[in-house]
Amino acid sequence: MADSLLAPRAGIDDPFAAAVHATRMSMAIVDAQAPDLPIVFVNDAFLRMTGYRRDEVIGRNCRFLQGPDTDGEVVKMLSRAIRQGEAANLDLLNYRKDGAPFWNALQISPVRDAGGQIVYFIGSQVDVTARKAAEAALEAAAAEQARTAQQALADRTALLHEVDHRVKNNLQLITSLLVLQTRRTQDDATQAALQSMLSRVSAIATVHRRLFQSHDLERFDVATFIRDLMGDVSSGREEVDIHLDLERVDIAAAQAAPLALAVNELVDNAFKHGLAPDRPGRLTIRVRRLNGHYVIEVCDDGPGLPETGEFEPGFGLTITNLLAQQLRATLAFEPGSPGVRAILKLPAHG
């Protein structure tokens, strides 16, 4: 379809010039063939935006709009586009006549004559100061948010360390109190009870030491715990040969203390009933994964189960059964060959 704009209108010689003059978009045209590309035309919107009079801008290069904070790199990009006769699209910090800076979203395009020679560059300018300010505010807000999040993480880590430290110190204090009272106690039964409590607290202490040593605070390595536990037990009973057959098994940290206590009771039980003092014996602990379960076995080579097939339900056995319930585990005592095999079987997760 033919361009219909050239149809005559009353009082208008050149409809393009009239339109460019009237538009609210700031426009300027520079002479591409004259030295230093002087401005040959600006519309009224350009004058409103920059605050200059027409006679102050005609004949000058556009760089008078630049100022101290104009980005030299952006200016270089603009010069390169002009040199290569290409269109360009960039955000440039410019300055009004009164010195006030504004963000200029500048678009320039070359205008060619019939022979393909560039005769003009036409530029349009939009004041995007408000958009730039919004962007900057958004960026600042994001940076602030990141800083706050980082601070919160640092606070949380510091708090965790502090709590960890206090828990460890308190466990140490409880342990020392128990040991001190054990030393003062003459009565054998009381002493045995205190010793049992001490071994339970020590098992929990061993858990806590391990939990915070690992990088993963959510998981607990059962094999390492058992090695630690037996490292402490074995030096008290040199005559017992301890055999560990441990697969690496991780459980949830929340299950660590109950499982540790249960294993501690089973080991204690084996020492009390299966491994008489001053008799060489063998204690075997196995951990393995079997059909979606973790199986922990504590085996001694002692006299075996009582005639009834069950142990007297003492305090240790009572709490082991309760802990097994909590862990949704099953606990069984089977005849070994010789001795007793205690089997704790708990569901594996994941």
Partner 1 sequence: MSRPLSVLIVEDEVLLAVELGFLVREAGCHEVGHALDSASAVELAQTLEPDIALVDVHLADGPTGVAAARQIAEGQGAIVLFMTANVKRLPEDLAGACGVIGKPYSDRAVRRALTYLARCLQDGAAPGPPPPGLALSERFVSRWGVDQLAQAV
Phi/psi for 24 (5° steps) reads -85, -5
Alpha-carbon distance 202 to 114, whole Å? Answer: 95
Q: What is the largest CA-CA distance in the chain?
A: 124
Contact 294, 251 (CB under 8 A): yes
Q: Which of positions 118-137 make contact with partner 1 (CB under 8 A)?
A: none
Q: Kindly tell me the sign of the dihedral angle through the C-alpha atoms of 262, 267, 270, 273.
A: negative
> Is residue 179 at the binding interface for partner 1, with CB under 8 A as the rule?
yes
Q: Which is nearer to partner 1, 9 or 165 (CB)?
A: 165
Question: Rounded to an integer, what distance in angstroms lies between the CA atom of residue 267 and that of residue 230?
Answer: 9
How many residues of this chain bind partner 1 (CB under 8 A)? 26
Among 177, 252, 276, 322, contact with partner 1 (rule: CB under 8 A): 177
Considering only CA atoms, which of 292, 285, 287, 282 is closest in space to residue 338?
A: 282
CB nearer to partner 1: pick between 208 and 273 = 208
Instruction: State the binding string over 270-289 for partner 1 (x if CB under 8 A, else -).
Output: --------------------
| 186 in contact with partner 1 (CB under 8 A) | no
Q: Can residue 84 be called a binding residue for partner 1 (CB under 8 A)?
A: no
Q: Which is nearer to partner 1, 231 or 335 (CB)?
A: 231
Q: Who's near 198: CB < 8 A, 6+ residues apart? A: 175, 178, 179, 182
Distance CA 338, CA 299 (A): 9
Q: Given its phi and psi angles, is residue 181 left (phi above 0), alpha (psi -120 to 50 degrees) or beta?
A: alpha
Under rule CB under 8 A, which residues in 213-252 are in contact with partner 1?
Answer: 213, 227-228, 231-232, 235-236
Residue 31 in tokens: 């002479």
If one asks whether residue 265 binds partner 1 (CB under 8 A), the answer comes out as no
Stretch that binds partner 1, among 65-73, 172-180, 185-193, 273-281 (CB under 8 A): 172-180
Any idea which residue has 């602030």 for tokens?
Answer: 144
Q: Which is nearer to partner 1, 84 or 213 (CB)?
A: 213
With contacts defined by CB under 8 A, name the span among 66-74, 124-132, 161-169, 299-307 that binds partner 1: 161-169
3-state SS class at 88: strand
Q: How many CB atoms lie within 10 A of CB 296?
A: 24
219/227 with CB nearer partner 1: 227
Binding residue (CB under 8 A) for partner 1 from 173, 252, 290, 332: 173
Question: What is the C-alpha separation between 100 and 270, in angstroms, rounded?
Answer: 87
Stretch touching partner 1 by CB under 8 A, among 64-72, 137-145, 148-156, 171-179: 171-179
Among 92, 171, 259, 295, binds partner 1 (CB under 8 A): 171
**Piece of the chain touching partner 1 by CB under 8 A; list 51-59, 174-182, 251-259, 323-331:** 174-182
Residue 202 contacts partner 1 per CB under 8 A? yes
Q: Tell me which of 161, 243, 288, 349 binds partner 1, using CB under 8 A.
A: 161
CB 285 within 8 A of CB 298: yes
Which of these, 247, 240, 296, lies nearest to 272 by C-alpha position?
Answer: 240
Residues at the interface with partner 1 (CB under 8 A): 161, 164-165, 168-169, 171-173, 175-177, 179-180, 183, 202, 205-206, 208-209, 213, 227-228, 231-232, 235-236
